[in-house]
Amino acid sequence: MRRVLTWLNRGLLLPLLALILLLLGLLFTQPGLRLSIYVAEKALPALQVAEVEGAWLSGASFRQLTYQDPQFQLSAQELSLRLQKRCLVQFRVCIPEIKVAGLQLNQRHDVPPAAPNDSTELVSEPASAAGLGIAFPVPVRIDRLILDQIEIALAEQHFAWQHFSIGVNAWGNRLQLSQGRWHGLKLILPEASASEPVNAYMPPVLPEIRLPFSIYLDDFQLTELQFSQGDEPAFPAKRPL
């Protein structure tokens, strides 16, 4: 009997205890956070994080993040988030706040976009037509998702805004968005060709989009929208009455 207990202690309890201590170190300590970022940078060589502070469950902050691939360049001044410990026991993910500040996304103009794969499209069309959806494995709740000072420069469009915040609640095959606030949005389109006649304008044809889950939006506000084409504003600013 003693041999069985000794074998259980060495073969099961000690590895389990070591695994628990390792998880606690990764989630509650700053060295654990640095180790996870180090592993992420090794797995994704295009990702670089200059400064890391805090811990996953007590509040993590990342500064000067960069990610580069052949088509896009992404950089962010700061990313901060914090997980709630009590939700992990209930097999849920609860994040009081995720904040991204100073993000810039640029599309490289010297690299052509990748050609679509015909075989992939043929396989995906029957799945979407059949109405197959996806479900979140665990409930996810984000009280506030904040995106401040964002700039996105694509090949033919340029987006920028000062503040965006929204609440996210996902469970099953449903996504609930609430209390959305979008302030200081600027949309810049390329200049129109002077050689084309006015009646030659063709409205854009938007593709059909089928989402694999249901989205519900509640209480959304957009303030101070500026839309321009080239250097000339498409919607002239209105003077206050």
Strand-by-strand arrangement of the 93-107 sheet: 47-55, 59-68, 72-81, 93-107, 140-153, 158-171, 174-189, 214-229, 232-233
Residue labelled with tokens 């797995």: 43
Residues 186, 163 contacting (CB under 8 angstroms): no
Encoded amino acid at 173, one letter: N
Phi, psi of 216 (to 5 degrees): -120, 130
CA distances, 156 to each of 5, 131, 187 (Å) = 69, 33, 11
Residues 58, 74 contacting (CB under 8 angstroms): no
Ordered per-residue pLDDT tens for the chain, 241 residues:
666 556 556 666 777 777 778 777 778 888 888 998 999 999 999 999 999 999 888 889 999 999 998 888 999 999 999 888 888 888 899 999 999 999 999 987 665 555 555 544 444 444 443 455 678 889 999 999 999 999 999 877 888 999 999 999 999 899 999 999 999 999 887 776 666 555 555 666 667 778 888 899 999 999 999 888 766 554 444 444 3
Phi, psi of 64 (to 5 degrees): 55, 65
Beta strand spans in 1-92 (E): 47-55, 59-68, 72-81
Residue spans per domain, the chain: 83-113+123-193+209-241
Residues 133, 173 contacting (CB under 8 angstroms): yes
Determine the distance from the C-alpha atom of residue 241 to the mean position of all C-alpha atoms in its chain, rounded to a whole number.
40
